[in-house]
Amino acid sequence: MAISFRNIHYGGIIMNYACSSRCAHCLYACAPQRDKAYLDEATAERLLDALAAQGCMEVHIGGGEPFLQPEALIRFCRRLRQRGFSVDYVETNSSWATDEKRTRDICRRLREAGVHTLLLSISPYHLGYVPLARVKALMAACRDTGMEIFLWRREFWEELEAMGAGTHSRAEFEAKYGADYWRQFARRYGVGLGGRARETYQAGLPHKSAETVEKQPCRELFNTGHFHMDCYGYYIPSGCTGLGIAVEDLKALPTGKYPLIEALHAGGVAALHRLAKEKFGFTADPAGYIDGCHLCSHIREYLALDAHAACPELHPMDHYRQLRGEREDHR
């Protein structure tokens, strides 16, 4: 029987992967250097068709930084409303709130397009790029236009304010709050160890052999509880960044089209590892892996950038290029 992703019930739309920030805990490895693609109208219709076909009529909107193209964002929100969808919230890092009048105007037009809440992302990593003054400016614009706000995560506000005006580096946080600050932050925030977050945190974690971690179950891939759909027309499983499925294929993946997902479905990471070794010459890192998802990501990066495997689920390719580029920059 064909593999299917049915009963998707709640998800987000990734308008873009480009972002004004490059947070060290970013699961999607967003950055200013990412591909500038933004959800276009034709792709939007494909996503909305796929969502409506499964009865999923409420979404949130994120990125990247969706406000990098506010006009396209407003158009998309209008289209969502025309088609009977509701928007739970739009995420933003507030970096665009530089001009009071423009900020208020964008908030007002989004309200008119049916958006009632903005989720304002704040964290010590965000403060490396976006001063709290911008967040406060956006909060004021929201207040003036009747837009509700949701600070994510509110509990960090006081310690961010205590850093003073402007942006603040990781070293400045350590100087103020102690050398263990970032490790504690990961626990308090509940950082998911994928994408750039894995690069940030893996060095301090115990590693085990590929043969050990490959036995761990591959749970997130088929978890349809909190998925995303992106600006290229792909479904992105929760937590499995760098894997995607064209939205038209969700109800029944054409046999043979997605060989890596078929392997993961049939035998988890162990089956993916076997396929990568036998068909593509993959060699596991002798330094080991923190978990099965780490091994899975390493295999996929190898298949995408070294073996040039023609597997459409290696998506978006820019994800792999970005992470490898950052690793090489740090050498």
Binding mask 277-306 for ligand SF4 (x = CB under 6 A): ---------------xx--x----------
Query: Minimum Å distance from CB 47 to ligand SF4?
Result: 19
Query: Minimum Å distance from CB 14 to ligand SF4?
Result: 9
Query: Minimum Å distance from CB 49 to ligand SF4?
Result: 25
SS3 277: helix
Q: Taking CB under 6 A as the rule, does residue 30 contact ligand SF4? A: yes
| Alpha helices per DSSP H over 146-291 | 157-161, 170-177, 181-189, 195-201, 210-213, 259-280
Closest CA to 16 of 8, 85, 114, 33: 33
Interface region with ligand SF4, contact rule CB under 6 A, candidates 15-23, 157-165, 251-259, 281-289: 15-23
Query: Which residues touch 251 (CB under 8 Å, ≥6 apart)?
Result: 4, 5, 6, 53
Among 3, 8, 23, 48, binds ligand SF4 (CB under 6 A): 23
Q: Taking CB under 6 A as the rule, does residue 19 contact ligand SF4? A: yes
Nearer to ligand SF4, 152 or 181 (CB): 152
What is the DSSP annotation of 7-30? ----EEEE-BSB-S---TT-TT--
Query: Minimum Å distance from CB 322 to ligand SF4?
Result: 11
Nearer to ligand SF4, 126 or 315 (CB): 126
Among 8, 56, 221, 314, binds ligand SF4 (CB under 6 A): 221
Nearer to ligand SF4, 269 or 303 (CB): 269
Query: Which residues touch 97 (CB under 8 Å, ≥6 apart)?
Result: 103, 134, 135, 137, 138, 141
Q: Taking CB under 6 A as the rule, does residue 168 contact ligand SF4? A: no
Query: Minimum Å distance from CB 43 to ligand SF4?
Result: 19
Asked if residues 16 and 69 have their Cβ atoms less than 8 Å apart, the reply is yes
The number of residues that bind ligand SF4 (CB under 6 A) is: 24
For the beta carbon of residue 255, count every other beta carbon within 10 angstroms.
11
Query: Minimum Å distance from CB 264 to ligand SF4?
Result: 5
Handedness of CA 124, 36, 11, 120 (dihedral sign): positive
Backbone torsions φ then ψ of 246, nearest 5 degrees = -55, 135
Q: Taking CB under 6 A as the rule, does residue 135 contact ligand SF4? A: no
Nearer to ligand SF4, 114 or 192 (CB): 192
Query: Minimum Å distance from CB 198 to ligand SF4?
Result: 10
Q: Taking CB under 6 A as the rule, does residue 21 contact ligand SF4? A: yes
Q: Taking CB under 6 A as the rule, does residue 220 contact ligand SF4? A: yes
Segment 90 to 109, residues that bind ligand SF4, using CB under 6 A: 93
Segment 223 to 282, residues that bind ligand SF4, using CB under 6 A: 240, 243, 264, 269
186 class by beta-carbon count within 10 Å (0-12 exposed, 13-18 middle, 19+ buried): middle
- Rounded Cα–Cα distance for residues 229 and 28 (Å): 12
For the beta carbon of residue 9, count every other beta carbon within 10 angstroms.
13
- Rounded Cα–Cα distance for residues 168 and 191 (Å): 20
Cis amide prior to 316 (ω within 30 degrees)? yes
DSSP state of 253: P
Segment 41 to 70, residues that bind ligand SF4, using CB under 6 A: 63-65
Interface region with ligand SF4, contact rule CB under 6 A, candidates 22-30, 32-40, 147-155, 163-171: 22-30
CA 291 to chain centre: 20
List interacting residues with ligand SF4 (CB under 6 A): 19, 21-23, 26, 28, 30, 63-65, 93, 121, 126, 218-221, 240, 243, 264, 269, 292-293, 296
